[in-house]
Structures are given as structure tokens and as C-alpha cells.
Amino acid sequence: MIKSTLELQNFLRSRLDIINEWFIEKKNFLKEKSIPFPLLSSFDVRDSGYKASIVDSNVFPSGFNNLDLTSRDLASKKVTKYLSSISPKKAILLIPENYSRNKNYFKSLQVLSNIMKKGGYKIIYGYLEYPNIQPPLDNSLNPLEKMIKKENMINTENFQDGFIILNNDLTGGNPSILNDVKQIIIPHVSLGWYNRKKSSHFQFYNNLIEELASIVSFDPWLLKTEIDNVDPIDFKNNFEIDLIAEKVDRMVENIAEKYAEYNINEELYVFLKNNSGTLGLGIISVKSSDELKNLNSKKRKKMIFGKQGAKITSILLQEGIPTKYSMGQHPAEPVIYCVGTDIIGGFMRLNLIADKFQNLNTKGLFFEQLYEKELTNSIVFKNKEFSLYVLISQIAILAISYELMQNLSG
């Protein structure tokens, strides 16, 4: 029996030929269906030492300012290769988030722009107009250009044709200006949070893990994250909270069975997450149905509204995986960045006030370079060796493309 993620990495390394064949088969299938991989993506990894999994997947990543220079250079080469395979056009209309105060986001956007500019692309900033949501306000984005739609083409003062790249996750909704547009929009609008569900993504992710596990012969639980969902939901409604509570107890029982099988002595807990949200908002953890039913008003309020005040109407239940990483007694987790199906780098997210069980993407967070040891070593050195984190990140990339295929077929 495999008893650690390091043992699992060594086991999978010995079966790399089989794994690569499986990936090629999946990539060819998606290519035949004309389903693209995301241009940009990032993944939060939780590794407890006994299991590892992706716990969050982002198709509109920020945080590029936390990447080292080598990763930024590699990202530029991969972005150029990705875009040039689609079109020789060199103009990009980059649509940022409607933030007005988040300075770190604008630092990330500057780095992302520089990554693209290094490939010879001209960057023009456009913005989406939402009711009651301000356009971006930051001197580094000047000039922000108003978008005008004419004959199914989006123009601004300095953009007539080229790529339209969204770094806005569309929490505010699907803007009509982006519908029926002839220009290439990356990523597809249907992957915005107005439509996307984390539960759908992780169902595809878990299915792919199970398929690979059946071929390579390992327990898929070692790389999965157990999930469930409740939809619709309103945390002001006690009856609906009772429905979540039943699922929390069921999930805790299932996790307890696996802990007993692997002789794991660790706390059991479940994350409740906004099923259509980001920024670490709308997330709490509970250990039992009783804890959920007795939530204080502060925690209840966290689960009512998400980013930009959007009401939370669907909840993802996700197995809690404690992180084995720490730095100066502070818990940490790897965050992996990708272009297409290639990993270009990442960093460690740390938190000064959380513990190893909690969400780290919240108040108290800061970032450091990837640890040059253990499983993260091969990421630091640009994937010259097999890495468990690279494997699960690439499976999550496949899952995003399967999500898109489902959206387009629906």
C-alpha cells in the first residue's frame, strides 16, 4: 500500500510511459472536438503528506507579479507560441477586473501585459460596464478605452482587430457586448463565474483521476478531493442548512473510512465554498453537522455574498486536506501557473494567521518562491523531472477543457 505522496510520486514516475500515452489520447480527443486548452490557468495544491490534490482551479488568474523572472520569461514564450498557433495578429484587447482599490491586482496585470509584450504583442486595455460596479481605476492602466460593438466586432480607439483576452472572471454576469463577436475571445465567455460551477470542474477532475488510476493501478483517493454540492441554497434558511449538514456528516463518514484504511490520525473537516466564486470569499470549514448548525452570525454572513456582492446560491462541499508545508511556523501551499498544457512556474502561498487546516487565500496571506525541496523541486527546475504537482495540474487543465466542451454542447 502506498502510504505517502512521495511514494506515490516515485510509483507514478515508474509508469510515466503509460501516463504520457493517456495524456496524448486525451489531448487528441479534445483536438478532434476543436476544444482548446485554457491560455492561462492557475491551481492551488494541497499536499497533506498522505494525499495531494488540486483544491481550486482558476481560468482568470492574477498573481503574476509573484512569479520569478525565469517563470515570466517562460510564460512569454509559451503565450507567444499559443497565440501564434491561432492567428498571426499582434494586437490584444486585455479586459481586466473591475477593481478600484486592489493594488496587487494591478501589479499582476502589469506583469501579465509585459509577458505578452515581450512576444511582440501590442496591449490595449478595455473595460466592461456593469451596473453599480466601477471600472478599473489605476494610473498604470491608462488609457482605459471604452469598447464599442459594431457589426459583431469590438473596437476601441486603438483596437480594431486581434485577440480579446479576458482577465475578468465575469462574476458580474455575461455582458451582452461579448456575445456573437467575430474576434477571438480567450478564454471562452462560458467559463466565467456567472456560469461556471466548481462542482462541475471537480467532477471532471475526479473522473479523470479515476480513469488514470484504473490504468496505472493506484487508489484514486490519493489524488482526488471528495466533493458534493447543494443548489440552490440560502444561508439565511435553516431548512437548507440542514440539507448541507446531512451531506457534511456523510462526507465526514466517507473520509473517516479512508483514514482508517490508511491508518491516518488527523482531524476530519469539510470546506464549504461558494460554487461560483473566487478571491477566497464565501469559504468556511466545519468538522460536523452540529458545528454547521451552530454557526455564528459572522460565519453565516460570509456565506451569503461573494465577490462584488453577488449572492451565493450554490455551495460546494469539498474534503478538507491539511497542508504539510510550513515556513516559520506559518502554513503554506503551492500555487501552480500554466500556459496551455505547460507549467511555467508558481509560488508558495503562506498565511500568518491561519493554521494548516484553513483556507490560506484570505487575510494574513503572503507569497514566497517555491521550496527547493521534496515534491516542489522539479517545478522549480522547470519540469526536468516528473512531478506529482505537474501531473495533477495537467489533469485539472484537461478538466477545464471538458467543462468547456460541456458548455458548448449544451
Please report the pLDDT score of residue 373 as a whole number.
Answer: 67
- Percent of the chain scoring above 70 in pLDDT: 91
Question: What's the rounded mean pLDDT across residues 371-390?
Answer: 72
**What integer pLDDT is reported at residue 69 of this predicted model?**
93
Which pLDDT value is given to residue 140? 67
- Enter the C-alpha cell of residue 58: 482558476
Give residue 383's pLDDT.
53
Cell 499582434, located at residue: 90
For residues 129-153, average pLDDT: 79
pLDDT of residue 306: 65
Domains and their CATH numbers in the chain: 1-59+197-225+321-410 (no CATH), 68-191 (3.40.50.11280), 231-319 (no CATH)
Residue 110 CB partners (closer than 8 Å, separation 6+): 65, 140
Question: What is the pLDDT, as a whole number, of residue 1?
Answer: 87
- At 322-333, the pLDDT tens digits run 999 998 889 999
| Stronger pLDDT, 139 or 241, i.e. the higher one | 241
Mean pLDDT in the chain? Answer: 91
pLDDT for residue 374 is more than 70: no
Inter-residue contact 247 to 233 (CB < 8 Å): no
pTM: 0.94
Give the CA distances from residue 274 to residues 102, 232, 237, 279, 282, in Å, rounded to whole numbers and listed in that order. 21, 11, 16, 11, 5
Which pLDDT tens digit goes with each residue over 76-126? 999 999 999 999 999 999 999 887 678 889 999 999 999 999 999 999 999
